[in-house]
Chains A and B, each alone.
Chain A
Amino acid sequence: MAATLFFQVLVNGLVLGGLYACIAAGFSLVWGVLNIINILHGTFVVIGSYSAYYAYIYLGVHPFISVVLAGIILFIIGYLFQRGIINRVVAAPVLITLSLTFGLDLFLNNSLLVVFSADYLKLNLANPLGVLQFAGIYVPVDRLAAMVLALFLTCLLYWVLEASRIGRAIVAVRMDREAATLMGVNAKHIYAVTFGLGALMAGSAGAMLSVIFPISPIVSTLYLSKAFVICVLGGLGSVAGAMVGGLVLGVVESFGGLIFGPEHAMTISFCLLILLLIFRPTGIMGKKGYE
């Protein structure tokens, strides 16, 4: 393979991977802390995309600014879902919470279909930032900026969990709910904040993805399954793992698409998942996030 082509495909993969990392970090947080496999996650991404789309069409707000808007909207939606509904079964076995979020997703996703229809929307920026060229490699600047922003958000989430008061409470509740309660932590609130943060990451990623991919409620499962694969790749509940897993998946898909054709991207992800489950069930990083 020619060197330029190799690097072109590598760069494409990394750009995609940065966005995947952002999606997966939120999914992983919710799974790791709340032990909930959140089937709603893909739909949250789509809602973020629609928010950015309509903010651009009607208000002229650039999608990169809408990242904040979409994040806030999704945080509120996520917080309310957890506080109002999911908290009731939060300590239940994972199958119960999975069924619940599956049901909620059917409801939410179908509501989106009713409101927005399944037709694909494409957000075309009036003033795209152009294309960067370096040693024969082409990178659309909008995509690059989206990736940088996504990775920045992922790092921000990492920082929040490591070094902020709310992050400490999230980890503390995960480790020992009763002891955290004795420290004055309101566990129900913290669970809802955690779920809200997961949704925020999904929504922000969705806003950035709106400048790259067509938008429709039916793409939600695509994002959900990628988040799932990345979590297994990177190890559960660790933001750093989601970052590494996301980049790896992006690159693998990119090269796989080149070799086997882009229509096989999902097949490649799941083959990777199966191989990993067989040979390295704890993920690339070799450890679970909260142990």
Chain B
Amino acid sequence: MSNDFFRLENVAAGYGDIQVLWDITIDVEPNEIVCMVGSNGAGKSTTLKLISGLLKPWSGRVIIGGEEVVYATPDQILAKGVGQVPEGRRLFNGMSVKNNLLMGAYLRKDKEVDKDLEFVYGLFPILKERRKQDAKTLSGGEQQMCAIGRGIMSRPKLLLIDELSLGLAPLVVEQLTETLKEINKTGISILLVEQDVMTAFELANRGFVLESGRVFLKGPTRLLADNPTVREAYMGI
């Protein structure tokens, strides 16, 4: 049975005339953590951009919340409950930590934004301490916390995270991993793109391996972790 919560079906896409993605089919179930791994330039970020509506699919179908979305703009995708923590954090420099978090809630009109702000501060107490500080003065780890916090401020049903561990010390990554599990328990599904396959497999219960813009392998992460090709190519074992 196909999963209607979130699914890409035979999607192709690219930049200008250059095709980057071929026949991508991936899905995420409610309350699930799924990872997408693959070498540099495999097309992981491109896939996330496509999901967020920054890039239009050339062919194939995108299904979010049981509906096919056609020519949706990023704000429409976000309103449908798909938020993104972009590669490299992309915080708004010159704006305070708090204002960065509030940007995540830009589309929301409800009265519970303050409550969610407190929820984020609860997950990352350091952000509360630094809330008035310019976001660019945060350490790498704190910036990633702020970016994740900003991502969940939109109250997504599915959160896309691009390169969680990039440039961060193992201890910080460990901490972020735990927080993501906590976030997941509140009912937010996660699609995690990650270079560090160990971290990705620890967190996710299913995985997709992308290679040259195609889905090359997929399955439960415990099986992928035993796959000789994956072990050799991505885990260095």
Q: Which residues of A from 177 to 234 have beta carbons under 8 Å from B?
A: 178-186
The contact sample of 29 A-B pairs, CB cut-off 8 A, is A165-B106, A168-B99, A168-B102, A168-B103, A168-B106, A169-B103, A169-B106, A171-B92, A171-B99, A172-B103, A175-B94, A176-B92, A178-B54, A178-B86, A179-B86, A179-B91, A181-B54, A182-B54, A182-B84, A182-B86, A182-B90, A183-B78, A183-B103, A183-B154, A184-B75, A184-B106, A185-B106, A186-B75, A291-B94
The interface of chain A, by Cβ under 8 A from chain B, is 165, 168-169, 171-172, 175-176, 178-186, 290-291
Give Cα A168–Cα B107 distance, bound, in whole angstroms: 12
Residue pairs across A and B with CB atoms within 8 Å: the count is: 62
Residues of chain A within 8 A (CB-CB) of B102 are: 165, 168
Residues in A with CB closer than 8 Å to B99 are: 168, 171
Q: Please indicate the chain B residues that have their CB under 8 angstroms from the CB of A171 in the complex.
A: 92, 94-95, 99
Query: Is A179 a contact partner of B90 (Cβ separation < 8 A)?
Result: yes
B: contact size bracket:
20 to 34
B198 within 8 A of A: no
B93 within 8 A of partner (CB): yes
In order of increasing CB-CB distance, the 4 nearest A-B pairs are: A179-B90, A184-B107, A184-B75, A184-B78
Please determine whether A182 and B52 come into contact, CB atoms closer than 8 angstroms.
Answer: yes
Contacts of B79 in A (CB 8 A): 184
B contacts, CB < 8 Å to A: 52, 54, 73-75, 78-79, 84, 86, 90-95, 99, 102-104, 106-107, 150, 154
Specify the chain B residue showing the minimal Cβ separation from A165: B106
Neighbouring B residues of A172 by C-beta, 8 Å: 92, 95, 103
Shortest C-beta distance, B93 to chain A (Å), equals 6
